[in-house]
């Protein structure tokens, strides 16, 4: 048998090898000085590491978990339901569909007031194109800068 490698030696020392394999290693170690020394080193380190013990008493959380669980159970029995925010209760597909419909409707309304000759008269000024007024917005200097580039001539804006 070849020498035992470090990985196998770790498994052997930790006692996690299947019994048949462990027996095979035991026989090899008995007859091989090099592996016997490496085994001794590995076992010493394993035992030394075992000196670090941790005592979790005083930090138990099971009672807390049990209390939370009991509370949740009694809430369920009492028929109390969790309050879910309104928007979360609407499925995502419906939310997306609603957003698309709103966008199309908004675009349609803008187009209607921007192009249709049958648009009802609404008060406007040269500074405030009528589709802005028709949408119920107040004209502002910021809007002026936004719209200014799109205005071809004063005549088109104010026929």
Q: Provide the minimum distance between the beta carbon of 22 and other proteins in the complex, in angstroms, as a whole number.
A: 12
The binding track of 122-151 with respect to other proteins, each residue x by CB under 8 A or -, is ------------------------------
Identified binder of other proteins from the candidate list 1, 14, 112, 151, rule CB under 8 A: 14
State the DSSP H helix or E strand holding residue 24, giving kind and residue range, or none if neither. helix 19-31
Identified binder of other proteins from the candidate list 2, 30, 48, 149, rule CB under 8 A: 48
Q: Provide the minimum distance between the beta carbon of 24 and other proteins in the complex, in angstroms, as a whole number.
A: 17
The binding track of 56-95 with respect to other proteins, each residue x by CB under 8 A or -, is x--xxxx-xxx-xxx-xx--x-------------------
**What is the rounded CA–CA span in Å between residue 115 and residue 65?**
66
**What is the rounded CA–CA span in Å between residue 114 and residue 157?**
10
C-alpha separations of 73 from 80, 83, 138, 140 in Å: 10, 17, 56, 58
The binding track of 16-45 with respect to other proteins, each residue x by CB under 8 A or -, is x------------------------xx--x
Nearer to other proteins, 77 or 126 (CB): 77
CB atoms within 10 A of CB 33: 8
Nearer to other proteins, 52 or 86 (CB): 52
C-alpha separations of 91 from 78, 97, 98 in Å: 27, 10, 11
CA-wise closest residue to 9 among 1, 19, 26: 26
**What is the rounded CA–CA span in Å between residue 20 and residue 1?**
14
- Count of CA atoms in the C-beta half-sphere (13 A) of 42: 19
Binding site for other proteins (CB under 8 A): 6-7, 10-11, 14, 16, 41-42, 45-46, 48-54, 56, 59-62, 64-66, 68-70, 72-73, 76
């Amino acid at each position: 048998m070849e020498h035992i490698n470090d990985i196998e030696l770790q498994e052997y020392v930790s006692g996690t090898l299947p019994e048949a394999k462990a027996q095979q290693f035991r026989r090899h170690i008995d007859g091989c000085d090099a592996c016997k020394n490496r085994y001794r080193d590995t076992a010493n380190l394993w035992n030394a590491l075992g000196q670090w013990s941790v005592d979790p008493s005083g930090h138990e959380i099971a009672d807390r978990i049990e209390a939370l669980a009991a509370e949740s159970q009694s809430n369920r029995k009492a028929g109390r339901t969790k309050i879910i925010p309104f928007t979360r209760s609407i499925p995502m597909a419906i939310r997306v569909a609603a957003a698309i419909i709103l966008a199309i409707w908004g675009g349609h309304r803008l187009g209607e007031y921007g192009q249709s000759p049958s648009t009802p008269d609404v008060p406007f000024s040269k500074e405030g194109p009528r589709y802005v007024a028709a949408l119920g917005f107040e004209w502002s200097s910021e809007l002026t800068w936004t719209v200014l580039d799109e205005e071809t001539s004063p005549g088109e804006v104010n026929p």
